[in-house]
Amino acid sequence: MLESPILTIHIIAGMIAFFVGPGAMLTKKGKVWHRRWGKIFFWSMTVVAISAVILTIRNQSVFLALVGIFSFYSAFSGYRVLYQKRPDRGQTATPLDWIAAGITVASGLGLLYLGIFRFGALQLNFNVVMIVFGVIALLLGGSDIRRFRSSFNPETDRYNWLFIHMGNMMGAYIAAVTAFSATNFGFLPIVVRWLWPGVVFGILGNYWTRKYRKQYATSGKTAAAASEQNVAI
């Protein structure tokens, strides 16, 4: 009885994230519309995550629960880094950040376990998906834990938060596209259906980040400085 309305909410929130994500990515960083689209995207992903937890508990799908954890953490980390831009000024990770990163690492280990030890000829392609997602979750959570522990250098790390924000929000959008692909592109092989969004948008995200890094390094002017004044979602 409960599943139908929760599933409907989950689908609607996922579609909103799917369509508004490009709005946040393509508008100028730090400006009004970038923040507006970003807010809608983040909170849509939050609703997706909460509804996914309810659905996975009800359906007892460990795989989807673990994938949901690291998918949402990408958006969560991309949002939280806006409040961690200057650790030298007290803008540091909170216990919530540490716990979330730790849970994400645990989800990565869980996915690796499923992919490696629940191996079968009929599940080979799906096991590849589990292993790839497990590695991504470990890298995502692990990189944040290292960042929380590292010292801050104002000269070299001044805009590092921006690139983390961009990369992790792109990762969250990849999760939204992946969910759409896995649900609707049944004509594709399992591995392709689950992994093509990460490959395609990962390449685009890498190009995007490199472009901004080069721009900021040469001009010394960045949207980060403008958005540094007020970036709360």
Give pLDDT tens digits for 79-90: 999 998 888 788
Do residues 197 and 181 make contact, with C-beta atoms less than 8 angstroms apart? yes
Residue range 121-146, pLDDT digits in tens: 446 678 888 999 999 999 999 999 99
- Using CA atoms, how far apart are residues 226 and 233, in angstroms rounded to an integer? 16
Instruction: Give residues with Cβ within 8 angstroms of 74, minimum separation 6.
Output: 140, 168, 169, 171, 172, 174, 175
Q: What are phi and psi of 172, to 5 degrees?
A: -65, -40
pLDDT of res. 170: 92
- Using CA atoms, how far apart are residues 96 and 79, in angstroms rounded to an integer? 13
Residue range 144-169, pLDDT digits in tens: 999 998 877 766 677 888 889 989 99
- Reported confidence tier of residue 218, pLDDT bands at 50, 70, 90: low
Instruction: Give residues with Cβ within 8 angstroms of 111, minimum separation 6.
Output: 63, 66, 67, 70, 130, 131, 133, 134, 137
Task: Give me the DSSP letters along 120-165.
Answer: -GGGHHHHHHHHHHHHHHHHHHHHHHHHHHSPP-TTTSTTHHHHHH
Residue range 186-208, pLDDT digits in tens: 888 888 999 999 999 888 888 88
The residue type at 70: F
Instruction: Give residues with Cβ within 8 angstroms of 130, minimum separation 6.
Output: 63, 111, 112, 114, 115, 118
Q: Is the pLDDT of residue 9 over 60?
A: yes
Q: Is the pLDDT of residue 65 over 80?
A: yes
Q: Is the pLDDT of residue 225 over 60?
A: no
Do residues 127 and 113 make contact, with C-beta atoms less than 8 angstroms apart? no
Do residues 224 and 30 make contact, with C-beta atoms less than 8 angstroms apart? yes
Exposed/middle/buried for residue 28 (C-beta within 10 Å: 0-12, 13-18, 19+): exposed
